Amino acid sequence: MTTNADLLSRRNAAVVRGIGHTTPISASHARNAELWDVEGRRYIDFSGGIAVLNTGHCHPKVIAAVQKQLSHFTHTCFQVVMYEPYIELAERLNALAPIAGPLKSALFSTGAEATENAIKIARAATKRAGVIAFAGAFHGRTALASALTGKVLPYKKDFGPALPNVWHAPFPAPETGVSVEESLKCIDFIFKADCGPSGIAAIIIEPVQGEGGFHQAPAELMRGLRRLCDDHGIVFIVDEVQTGFGRTGTMFAMEHYDVSPDVICVAKSLAGGFPLSGVIGKASIMDVADPGGLGGTYAGNPLACAAALAVLDVMEEERLPQRAQRIGEHLRGWLERVRVRNDVVAIADIRGPGAMVAFDIVKERNGRDPDAETTKRIIQRAYENGLILLSCGTSANTIRILVPLTASDETIDEGLAILEKALAV
């Protein structure tokens, strides 16, 4: 039998160190919120492959749609011979996105490609170069995406100078101690110190910072950014790669706000485990780039488009955004009850909209000092007892829960029972 240890040792010999791994196991198979390793051990999956599996592992409708597409063709390159699943998905995304007016979409493969292309599109539409992003943000690891990403370690260290014309404003959150007013003031400083507003093509923000620790952008910030963009002809881009598709209790997290963006980036749970991303936006902005300037050999792969169409059906049929609300309430209620107990580690802020729930581990009860060591230990203990969990946050002391929205109450409670043990002092 192949063992996890064998595969780990082959991995270490053959695969680069720069690609990290949370657990030392290799998967054999997975269904909904459960995963089995190559030695037959079962795990509850609270990671969803980093926010990709809102519809769970191998949702039968997603698999059936992909199998049907497999029997027709797997690739033509949309730029060479078009196909209906791509066109239909663009139509459905345009109809769903919370942006008024005629919309158009472009499909790609990864989240980083979506954020990069959103910036390219904004630059083409405005004929400007500058971009403002936020500290603590994560927009991907490719050259332009990592320039947008607001975290040096481990995303920028040793990789040379970041691409120019990108500036970061502080993200307002209790953790950063920055208010909305201060954050907007910093953008004003950027306008004065680095690049006037007439040189800024886009402002890009996650409605809820994902890797940054599940901090939700305050409504007042979003209104302020919308105002700035309107005043100066700047494209307002939101990155919904992690928040998208039901996770926050609405299809898009932007539905929680009373302002809308010009462009939205999507990926991850859009295609239930198949590599697909997209940029959706106002047609007047999206259509400026010349033919050939956007796209990619595999961009909008037909198998991934078929999967995404099935994901959108499942979201609607199984009312997954509503289910996310209920899961979120259950998780937050459970965490609140556990937090007051003396036999568990010190848990601080419990936060996040819908089922995008996270909590901080701190050194002392009622304190704010981040405890990254204990956080690591909790994740390791959870894994040893059969629960796959992820951390996040700029101080590496946040535990995030991204359980599939299709998971049964029993499976979620089984996962929470393991988490309870892992949180014990």
Give, as ranges, the residues between 328 and 367 that touch ligand PLP (CB under 6 A). Answer: none
Q: How far apart are CA 233 and CA 349, in angstroms?
A: 37
Give, as ranges, the residues between 211 and 240 that touch ligand PLP (CB under 6 A). Answer: 211, 239
Give the other-Cβ count within 10 Å of 246's Cβ. 28
Give, as ranges, the residues between 27 and 46 that touch ligand PLP (CB under 6 A). Answer: none
Q: Is 241 in the site for ligand PLP (CB under 6 A)?
A: yes
Binder of ligand PLP out of 7, 27, 50, 259 (CB under 6 A): 50
Binder of ligand PLP out of 34, 116, 206, 349 (CB under 6 A): 206
Binder of ligand PLP out of 90, 112, 186, 264 (CB under 6 A): 112
| Shorter beta-carbon distance to ligand PLP: residue 239 or 371 | 239
Give the other-Cβ count within 10 Å of 356's Cβ. 26
Q: Is 90 in the site for ligand PLP (CB under 6 A)?
A: no
* Count of positions (residues) in the chain: 425
Binder of ligand PLP out of 130, 140, 172, 302 (CB under 6 A): 140
| Shorter beta-carbon distance to ligand PLP: residue 136 or 197 | 136
Binder of ligand PLP out of 56, 130, 210, 300 (CB under 6 A): 210
Tokens of 140: 């991907």
Q: Is 22 in the site for ligand PLP (CB under 6 A)?
A: no
Closest separation in Å from C-beta 159 to ligand PLP: 15
Q: How far is CA 345 from the centre of its chain?
A: 27
Binder of ligand PLP out of 139, 256, 323, 400 (CB under 6 A): 139
**How many amino acids of this chain bind ligand PLP (CB under 6 A)?**
15
Instruction: State yes or no: cis peptide before 353, omega within 30 of 0.
Output: no
| Shorter beta-carbon distance to ligand PLP: residue 138 or 359 | 138
Q: Is 274 in the site for ligand PLP (CB under 6 A)?
A: no
Tokens of 412: 């979620």
Task: Give me the residues that bind ligand PLP (CB under 6 A), please.
Answer: 50, 110-112, 115, 138-140, 206, 210-211, 239, 241-242, 267
